[in-house]
A and B are shown apart, each in its own frame.
Chain A
Amino acid sequence: MKTSKKILKNLKTLGVVSLLTINTYSFDITHQLKPNGTFETTALSNSCSTMQDTSFSSLCNSALMPLSEQQAVSISVVGKSDGDSIDNGRDLIFDPISEELIRKLFEEKNFNSFTFNSNIIFKTSLFEINYTPYYLIADLYLFNPVFPEISLHAVNRETLRLTRGWTLIGDKEKFQTDWFLSMGTSAYYYKHSTANNVFSLFDLSFNPPESLISFENEYGAAGDLAFFFMTPYKFWPKFSLQFKNLGSKITRNKAANESAVQQSPYLLFEPYMTFGLGQEFSTFLGRLDFNLEMFHSYSDDSLFIENLTLGSRYTINLFSIYLGLSSYYQNFALRFDSETFKVGIGYAREEDMRRFQPTVENSVYTGVEISL
Chain B
Amino acid sequence: MIRNKITILLATLLFVFSCMKKERSEPIENQTKFEIIEALNQGDSDRALSLALKGQRENPNDFEYYYFEAQAYSQKASVDVYSLFPLMKMEIFDVAVTEWKKQEEFEKRQKSRLQTNLLGESEEIDTSDLDEVNKKIQSTPAEDFPIELSELEQFHYTYVDENGLEVKEEQQFYCAYYLDISSPLFVYDEPMKEVVYIDKENVEDSCNSERNKEKVEAEVARIKERSKYTAKQNALSMVDRKRELVKERTYEQRYAKAFFALFDSIPILREAPTLTFENAENAILALRKLNIILNQSNIPDRLKNNTTHQMRLLSSYLIIGSYKNTTNLDGVSEVTDLICLIEPKQATSHYRYFLYGARFFMKSMRDSDLAKKNQENYIEYSQIINDAPEELTEEQIEDFEEDTQKFKNSRGC
Contact = CB atoms under 8 A, between A and B. Distances in A.
B25 A27 contact: no
A251 interface: yes
Interface string A1-15: 001000100000000
A146 B310 CA distance: 9
A358 B38 contact: yes
B24 interface: yes
Interface in A194-242: 198, 200-203, 205-206, 225, 227
A286 interface: no
Interface size class of B (residues with CB under 8 A): 35 or more
A144 B43 contact: no
18 contacts: A25-B26, A26-B31, A98-B93, A103-B82, A144-B37, A145-B40, A145-B41, A145-B80, A146-B75, A146-B310, A168-B5, A169-B5, A200-B309, A205-B103, A253-B23, A299-B22, A356-B34, A358-B41
B46 to A, nearest CB: 14
B5 A256 contact: no
Interface string B199-232: 0000000000000000000000000000000000
Interface in A289-316: 298-301
B71 A300 contact: no
Contacts of B2: 169
A148 B81 contact: yes
A337 interface: no
Contact of B41 (A93, A110, A203, A225): A110
B98 A94 contact: yes
A39 B377 CA distance: 65
A275 to B, nearest CB: 13
Chain B interface mostly helix, strand, loop or mixed? helix
B79 interface: yes
A264 B30 CA distance: 12
Given A260-B30, A356-B38, A96 B94 contact: yes
A143 B23 contact: no
Interface string B1-41: 01001001110100010011111111111110110011011
B85 interface: yes
Nearest to A241: B13
A20 interface: no
A149 B23 contact: no
A257 B31 CA distance: 12
Contacts of A147: 71, 74, 306, 309-310, 313
A24 B5 contact: no
B50 to A, nearest CB: 16
B273 to A, nearest CB: 13
A261 B27 CA distance: 14
Contacts of A93: 96-98
Looking at B2, B21, B26, the one whose CB has the most chain A CB atoms below 10 A away is: B26
